[in-house]
């Protein structure tokens, strides 16, 4: 309301000719159109006017110094507006670090990343003001996104605006995948962390050695230009076989327990880990090293030597990590430490948290509880209380439908739900796992950037509309409608791990469970972590409503006409059709097969299941090749796991149909296939 009154009270259009401005009116819907071109949406933005002028009439002024982020901001401003002079009479864009205009930023959250954009009197220019260089870079990104929206080769269209902006969450980024290859894009979205597993080993002298893996160098060389913090990580500590550790120090091999576990009662590991922390912490632009605690001991436990068996092995491990960090700080005083939890530590997390000093950053990871698309909160009370005490807490979620294989998922509602929880619970940062590559989840990556920066800014429809406008998807309103239809349906499917949970085989395969009458009830989540096949579907009505939404999304996709959107829609529609057919079969198929009066209905359901899975498999492969045409994934690779699952379940369901629909003489009731 305040913005509407402000705009109504202003003459909000201007054309700059020389030094004179000729006012013209701008409707409120024109202001809304401007807002669609910027992501993430600033916390406070008021657009009062726009000016149009030749490129040569714009100049750029910047503070002295040689900071990578400021240099990049200047380069991008010049690329956007040209390299005109800042002589008197020109429209001047001025970058200011500190000063009186920056004092207001002291009161906003995460002020070191905050910025202001302020108009000069008489529409003569704009000032971008920040406390720190990265804030100037972020302010420049906002302005260049807006200027690029309506400008031409000959003429610039520049909004005259007033912005005060800051991120809701201090750290926002990714670990793994190909994130180190996308630094300009990551920075443009105001995402600011890239973490990668480092190469670590022990040399012939027993010294720990560490470096970035080949190809990851851009994260330390180019990251600072885009405001991106590089974080090298030491892999899960039970996965160090082949690194020379046990060859140099055989006494570190656990006595009993899981192969690869370390005996933390022996002191040698502390020195080796300290060497690794120093080596990685000494890399350019690195401030923190992340050490990943043991991930999975497969219920065999850790070392069972006389000393170790007296303690919780996770507590021994975190104490060794802290001892190594303290030794590292003797050589490298400013090196920071992050500690990543895991499913192995889950039961010991209260004990681990009690060991951590306040200057250590904690990251919550659990392969079954953070790598999930379930519609349930991720940060549980122990960690929520930890963050509420002002402690640094990160979290490691997935932004895709499934971790590993290619899986289309444009889930604005899912991403907003995740980011809102993190912001509400005062999480300090997230490092999402997005594979096979960030470009496979472009929509969700940008959604995470949007709502980790400004969770209360746009709704899901408005974000989708902005995405369509920025990516040239026509008509954008139809894309927003498509996003609202497909997002919730896909979220319920991926949250139920359908059909992706068939990869895991953690329980009875659905076709076997169908045959034996052991399919779980709707809404069942086994062991609190396994939702397969329909844990997010609480009722038959929800399944059928989801199918209606998926069909509507497919029709909208065909009207939009973009092949990748059509194929994604066919995948999701195929998934939920197959799940609906499975549910229909569960009501009429028993251990003794199908009753004669139900055979026609069963035959139709079998046929629907097979056709839906075949559609999903075909479209999944087509979508993948449209999204990543450069990727030549071999047939048996993880990339194609879901497609292979679909092929397998079709074979299994065909066999069950033949068995269940057989008449007494052994012939099928009719040739469905």
Residues shown for the chain: 673
Q: Residue 207 gets which letter from DSSP?
A: -
CA separation for the pair 612, 571 (Å, rounded): 9
Q: Is 453 helix (H, G, I), strand (E, B) or coil?
A: helix
Judged on CB neighbours under 10 Å (0-12, 13-18, 19+), 120 is: middle
CA separation for the pair 403, 440 (Å, rounded): 12
- Between the alpha carbon of residue 15 and those of residues 21, 51, 55, 159, the distances in Å are 5, 5, 14, 11
pLDDT value, residue 221: 97
CA separation for the pair 555, 560 (Å, rounded): 9
Report residue 623 as tokens. Answer: 């979508």
CA separation for the pair 208, 315 (Å, rounded): 23
Of the candidates 490, 497, 318, the one whose C-alpha atom is nearest the C-alpha of residue 410 is: 490
CA separation for the pair 520, 499 (Å, rounded): 15
Q: Is 34 helix (H, G, I), strand (E, B) or coil?
A: helix
Q: Residue 541, Cβ neighbours under 10 Å: how many?
A: 9
Q: Is 59 helix (H, G, I), strand (E, B) or coil?
A: strand
Report residue 109 as tokens. Answer: 């959250």
CA separation for the pair 292, 302 (Å, rounded): 16
Under 8 Å CB-to-CB from 586, ≥6 apart: which residues? 514, 519
Q: Is 566 helix (H, G, I), strand (E, B) or coil?
A: helix
Contact between 110 and 170 under an 8 Å Cβ cutoff? The reply is yes
CA separation for the pair 633, 547 (Å, rounded): 31
pLDDT value, residue 24: 45
CA separation for the pair 325, 308 (Å, rounded): 21
Contact between 338 and 290 under an 8 Å Cβ cutoff? The reply is yes
pLDDT value, residue 86: 52
pLDDT value, residue 56: 87
Q: Residue 390, Cβ neighbours under 10 Å: how many?
A: 10
Under 8 Å CB-to-CB from 323, ≥6 apart: which residues? 270
CA separation for the pair 589, 470 (Å, rounded): 50
* DSSP string computed for 299-332: TS-S--STTGGGS-HHHHHHHHHHHHHHHHHHHS
CA separation for the pair 2, 15 (Å, rounded): 26
CA separation for the pair 295, 280 (Å, rounded): 21
CA separation for the pair 578, 546 (Å, rounded): 12
Of the candidates 338, 336, 295, 355, the one whose C-alpha atom is nearest the C-alpha of residue 430 is: 338
- The CATH number of 2-165, from 3.30.565.10, 3.30.379.10, 3.40.50.300, 1.10.3720.10, is 3.30.379.10
Q: Is 177 helix (H, G, I), strand (E, B) or coil?
A: coil
**What are the φ/ψ torsions at residue 359 (nearest 5 degrees)?**
-90, 10
CA separation for the pair 427, 404 (Å, rounded): 25
pLDDT value, residue 26: 64
Of the candidates 541, 535, 567, the one whose C-alpha atom is nearest the C-alpha of residue 554 is: 567
**pLDDT, tens digit (0-9, with 9 covering 90-100), for 488-540:** 999 999 999 999 999 875 578 999 999 999 999 999 999 999 999 999 999 99
Contact between 533 and 579 under an 8 Å Cβ cutoff? The reply is yes
Judged on CB neighbours under 10 Å (0-12, 13-18, 19+), 535 is: buried
**What are the φ/ψ torsions at residue 598 (nearest 5 degrees)?**
-105, 5
Report residue 221 as tokens. Answer: 């060389």
* DSSP string computed for 79-116: HHH------TTSEEEEEEESSGGGGGGGGSTTGGG-EE
Of the candidates 131, 122, 127, the one whose C-alpha atom is nearest the C-alpha of residue 86 is: 127
Question: What residues in the chain have per-residue pLDDT under 70?
Answer: 1-26, 84-89, 505-506, 663-673
Under 8 Å CB-to-CB from 448, ≥6 apart: which residues? 172, 191, 399, 415, 418, 419, 430, 432
Contact between 448 and 414 under an 8 Å Cβ cutoff? The reply is no
- Between the alpha carbon of residue 43 and those of residues 109, 166, 215, 222, the distances in Å are 11, 7, 36, 28
* DSSP string computed for 385-437: HHHHTT--EEE--B-SSSSSS------HHHHHHHHHHHHHTT--EEEEE--S-
- Between the alpha carbon of residue 314 and those of residues 202, 319, 321, 652, the distances in Å are 23, 9, 11, 42
CA 309 to chain centre: 39
CA separation for the pair 443, 439 (Å, rounded): 9
**pLDDT, tens digit (0-9, with 9 covering 90-100), for 57-94:** 899 998 888 899 999 999 999 999 987 555 656 799 99
Q: Residue 281, Cβ neighbours under 10 Å: how many?
A: 22
DSSP alpha helices (H): ranges in 207-335? Answer: 218-221, 245-248, 268-281, 313-331
Listed in order, strand segments (DSSP E) in 143-207 are 155-165, 171-175, 193-197, 199-202
B/e letters for 473-491, b = 16+ CB within 10 Å, e = fewer, are beebebbbbbbbbbbbbbb
**pLDDT, tens digit (0-9, with 9 covering 90-100), for 353-410:** 999 999 999 999 999 999 999 999 999 999 999 999 999 999 999 999 999 999 999 9
Bridge partners, 172 (sequence order):
430
Contact between 612 and 574 under an 8 Å Cβ cutoff? The reply is yes
């Amino acid at each position: 309301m305040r913005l509407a009154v402000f705009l109504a009270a202003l003459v909000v259009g201007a054309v700059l000719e020389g030094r004179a401005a000729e006012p013209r009116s701008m409707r409120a819907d024109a202001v809304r159109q401007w807002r669609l071109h910027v992501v993430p949406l600033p916390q406070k933005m008021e657009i009062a006017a726009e000016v149009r002028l030749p490129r040569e009439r714009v100049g750029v002024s910047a503070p002295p110094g040689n900071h990578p982020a400021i240099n990049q901001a200047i380069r991008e401003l010049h690329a956007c507006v040209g390299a005109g002079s800042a002589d008197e009479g020109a429209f001047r864009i001025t970058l200011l670090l500190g000063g009186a205009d920056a004092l207001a930023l002291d009161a906003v959250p995460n002020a070191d990343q905050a910025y202001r954009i302020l108009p000069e009197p008489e529409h003569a220019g704009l000032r971008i003001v920040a406390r720190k260089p990265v804030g100037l870079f972020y302010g420049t990104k906002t302005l260049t996104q807006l200027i690029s929206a309506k400008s031409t080769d000959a003429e610039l269209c520049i909004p005259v605006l007033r912005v005060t902006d800051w991120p809701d969450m201090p750290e926002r980024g990714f670990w793994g995948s190909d994130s180190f290859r996308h630094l300009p894009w990551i920075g443009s979205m105001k995402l600011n962390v890239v973490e990668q597993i480092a190469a670590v080993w022990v040399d012939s002298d027993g010294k720990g050695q560490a470096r970035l893996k080949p190809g990851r160098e851009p994260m330390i060389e180019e990251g600072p230009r885009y405001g991106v913090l590089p974080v090298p990580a030491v892999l899960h500590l039970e996965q160090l076989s082949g690194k020379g550790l046990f060859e140099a120090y055989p006494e570190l091999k656990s006595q009993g327990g899981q192969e690869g576990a370390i005996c933390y009662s022996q002191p040698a590991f502390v020195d080796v880990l300290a060497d690794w922390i120093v080596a990685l912490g000494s890399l350019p632009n690195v401030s923190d090293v992340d050490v990943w605690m043991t991930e999975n001991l497969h219920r065999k436990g850790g070392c069972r030597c006389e000393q170790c068996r007296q303690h919780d092995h996770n507590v021994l491990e975190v104490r060794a990590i802290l001892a190594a960090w303290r030794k590292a700080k003797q050589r490298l005083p400013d090196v920071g430490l992050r500690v990543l939890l895991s499913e192995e530590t889950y039961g010991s997390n209260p004990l681990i948290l009690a060991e951590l000093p306040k200057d250590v950053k904690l990251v919550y990871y659990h392969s079954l509880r953070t790598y999930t698309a379930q519609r349930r909160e991720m940060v549980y009370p122990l960690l929520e209380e930890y963050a509420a005490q002002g402690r640094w807490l990160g979290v490691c979620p997935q932004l895709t439908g499934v971790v590993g294989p290619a899986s289309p998922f444009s889930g604005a509602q899912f991403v907003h739900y995740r980011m809102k929880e993190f912001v509400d619970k005062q999480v300090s940062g997230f490092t999402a796992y997005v594979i096979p590559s960030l470009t496979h989840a472009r929509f969700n990556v940008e959604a995470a950037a949007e709502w980790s920066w400004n969770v209360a800014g746009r709704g899901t429809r408005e974000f989708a509309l902005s995405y369509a406008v920025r990516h040239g998807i026509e008509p954008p309103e139809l894309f927003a409608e498509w996003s609202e239809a497909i997002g919730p349906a896909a979220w319920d499917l991926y949250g139920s791990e359908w059909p992706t949970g068939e990869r895991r085989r953690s329980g009875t395969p659905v076709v076997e469970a169908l045959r034996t009458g052991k399919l779980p009830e709707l809404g069942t989540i086994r062991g609190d972590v396994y939702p397969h096949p329909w844990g997010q579907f609480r009722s038959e009505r929800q399944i059928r409503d989801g199918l209606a939404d998926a069909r509507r999304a497919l029709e909208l996709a065909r009207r939009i006409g973009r092949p990748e959107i059509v194929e994604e829609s066919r995948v999701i529609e195929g998934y939920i059709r197959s799940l609906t057919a499975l549910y229909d079969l569960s009501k009429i198929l028993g251990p003794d097969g199908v009753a004669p009066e139900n055979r026609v209905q069963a035959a139709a359901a079998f046929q629907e299941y097979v056709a839906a899975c075949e559609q999903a498999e075909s479209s999944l492969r087509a979508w993948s090749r449209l999204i990543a045409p450069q990727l030549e994934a071999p047939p048996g690779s993880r990339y194609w796991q879901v497609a292979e699952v679909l092929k397998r379940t079709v074979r299994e369901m065909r066999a069950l149909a033949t068995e269940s629909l057989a008449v007494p003489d052994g012939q099928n009731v009719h040739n469905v296939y």
